[in-house]
């Protein structure tokens, strides 16, 4: 995709990876950016930074879990600032907890933003892209959308779902000249992971590097964009020897690694004795 002179809408643009993507797209020549997130003040800061690069930036303060409000705002935005050529679904929520201690409200928040929010935004924009006969949609999944990790079960579930959703839409919308891409970052230094316990041996990257990888992937028409050699190695290992990767993940798991091992041994023993 040639992003020169295009209009892009980025969700999760107030901070982290979404913010970096919006700024990188501005640097690489998009004409107009529509920035979506809840935090009005942070969105305004990002918009100012983008305007200083000579690119038009508009803020759309929205909670993606409020589907009716999102419907109205996107219809208005398309009328006033459309057509939108590129949609980047980046907003996301993650909760890290051993599954047996997980709480339904956190799971509902992950599903509400990561899946329902993304679904609602994509449907609104994709229908209009079909009418205009072109467009590109980027769905931000994660390496955890390919390789599931202990303590992140429900987050992984949403990110695996995004990969499946993206593959299905890619086939379905190709006839309408709409490309659908999955971006799969690995550990990236943002607010999201500040309070998480990191997996051992995983090398973090920066939001800027993720944004640059996206722009390169868009230029190359890549259907899936993995970031960093560790991600490629993990996905490859998961294909060739999933049992080995599971062992490594168990050793790398941050939360009570020994307790997890003991827990699994105990449940194995109980299962055998039944
Ligand atoms: N960081 C990582 O290691 C990593 C790795 C792989 C994938 N990812 C994915 O990358 C994406 C961005 O993550 P990040 O690390 O940049 O996280 P982040 O720094 O926590 O940013 C999350 C963004 O999502 C927005 N958001 C959250 N809830 C929202 C809601 N209800 N309505 C609208 N916007 C909402 C936030 O804006 P407001 O708070 O202003 O609403 C913020 O802009 C996510 O999809 C995440 O799963 C991250």
pLDDT in tens, 102-120: 999 999 999 999 999 999 9
Query: How does the average pLDDT of the chain come out, rounded?
Result: 92
Q: Report how far apart, in Å, the C-alpha atoms of 118 and of each of 35, 66, 141, 163 are.
A: 15, 12, 11, 12
Query: Does the pLDDT value for residue 261 go beyond 60?
Result: no
pLDDT in tens, 124-150: 999 999 999 999 999 999 999 999 988
Query: Does the pLDDT value for residue 270 go beyond 70?
Result: no
Mutation test of ligand 1: which of 16, 66, 206, 214 has the most ligand atoms closer than 8 Å to its C-beta? 16
Report the C-alpha gap between 43 and 205 in whole angstroms: 23
Q: What is the pLDDT of residue 272?
A: 47
Backbone angles phi, psi at 65, to 5 degrees: -85, -5
Name all domains of the chain by residue range, CATH numbers in brackets.
7-239 (3.40.50.720)
Compute the average pLDDT of residues 247-271: 64
Ligand 1 center to residue 251 CA distance, Å? 27
Residues within 6 Å of ligand 1 by CB: 12, 14-18, 37-39, 42, 62-65, 90-94, 113, 140, 142, 185, 187-188, 190-193
pLDDT in tens, 150-201: 899 999 999 999 999 999 999 999 999 999 999 999 999 999 988 777 777 8
Task: Determine contact, residues 93/110, Cβ cutoff 8 Å.
Answer: yes
């Amino acid at each position: 995709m040639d992003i020169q002179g295009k209009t892009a809408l980025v969700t999760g643009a107030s901070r982290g990876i979404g913010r970096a993507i919006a700024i990188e797209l501005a640097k690489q020549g998009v004409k107009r950016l529509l920035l979506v997130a809840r935090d009005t003040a942070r969105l305004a800061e990002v918009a100012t930074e983008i305007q200083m690069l000579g690119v038009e930036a508009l803020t759309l303060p929205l909670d993606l879990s409020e589907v009716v409000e999102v419907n109205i705002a996107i219809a208005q935005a398309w009328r006033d600032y459309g057509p939108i050529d590129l949609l980047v679904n980046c907003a996301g929520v993650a909760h890290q907890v051993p599954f047996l201690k997980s709480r339904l409200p956190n799971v509902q928040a992950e599903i509400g933003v990561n899946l329902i929010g993304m679904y609602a935004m994509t449907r609104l924009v994709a229908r209009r892209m079909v009418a205009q006969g072109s467009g590109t949609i980027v769905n931000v999944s994660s390496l955890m959308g390919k390789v599931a990790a202990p303590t992140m079960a429900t987050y992984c579930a949403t990110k695996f779902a995004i990969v499946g959703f993206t593959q299905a839409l890619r086939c379905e919308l190709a006839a309408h000249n709409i490309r659908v891409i999955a971006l799969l970052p690995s550990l990236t230094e943002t607010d999201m992971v500040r309070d998480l316990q990191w997996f051992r041996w995983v090398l973090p990257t920066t939001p800027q590097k993720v944004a640059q990888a996206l722009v390169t992937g868009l230029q190359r028409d890549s259907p899936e964009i993995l970031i960093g050699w560790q991600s490629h190695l993990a996905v490859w290992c998961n294909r060739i020897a999933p049992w080995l990767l599971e062992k490594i993940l168990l050793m790398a798991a941050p939360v009570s690694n020994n307790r997890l091992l003991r827990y699994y041994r105990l449940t194995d023993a109980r299962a055998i004795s039944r």
